[in-house]
Amino acid sequence: MTMRACGSVMTAVCVALGSLVSIEAAQKPAPRKAQMSAIDVLPLTCVQAWVKANKNYTEMRSIVVTLARVSLANRDLTFPNTREAGLEAGKRIAQDCEADPNALLFAIVDKHVRQVAEAATGSGK
């Protein structure tokens, strides 16, 4: 993966988590044309997710948000309802993907979404 592609993935991930808050806050998110299921995206690495997203920010955002929802549901956590929390998690996810483009994206998303959600609740397990 080139540094330029890593930068693109970082930007997409930061934007994705920054908008997770607004998506989670809405009662019913607007339906997407071709939303990928969690089953489709769980086994993907950072690079594979970017390719599956057709190197498109909107599609990458959808993948990251899907993975974040899986993490939050499985851990019975609530993501803080602030843009800052989303940007913080997004920045950390993007840094980890840049450091290891072949890492499983879900493992990275889970790690950072959990850290932000637990810090907000003060449980810090």
Domain ranges of the chain: 3-27+35-121
- Tell me the mean pLDDT in the region 78-88: 91
Nearest Cα neighbor of 64 from 31, 22, 15 is 15
Nearest Cα neighbor of 19 from 52, 78, 68, 53 is 68
Q: What is the average pLDDT score of the chain?
A: 80
| Confidence (pTM) | 0.73
How many whole angstroms separate alpha carbon 6 and alpha carbon 46? 9
Residue 47 neighbours by CB under 8 Å, 6+ apart? 1, 5, 9, 101, 102
Q: What pLDDT, on a 0 to 100 scale, did the predictor assign at position 36? A: 82
Q: What pLDDT, on a 0 to 100 scale, did the predictor assign at position 124? A: 52
Q: 53: pLDDT confidence band, cut at 50, 70 and 90?
A: very high
Q: Is the pLDDT of residue 21 over 50?
A: no
Q: What pLDDT, on a 0 to 100 scale, did the predictor assign at position 22? A: 44
Reported as a single tens digit per residue, the pLDDT across 65-78 is 999 999 999 999 99
Q: What pLDDT, on a 0 to 100 scale, did the predictor assign at position 73? A: 96
Q: Cα-Cα-Cα-Cα dihedral of 102, 10, 68, 86, to 10°?
A: 150
Q: 10: pLDDT confidence band, cut at 50, 70 and 90?
A: low
How many whole angstroms separate alpha carbon 105 and alpha carbon 66? 11
Q: Is the pLDDT of residue 19 over 60?
A: no
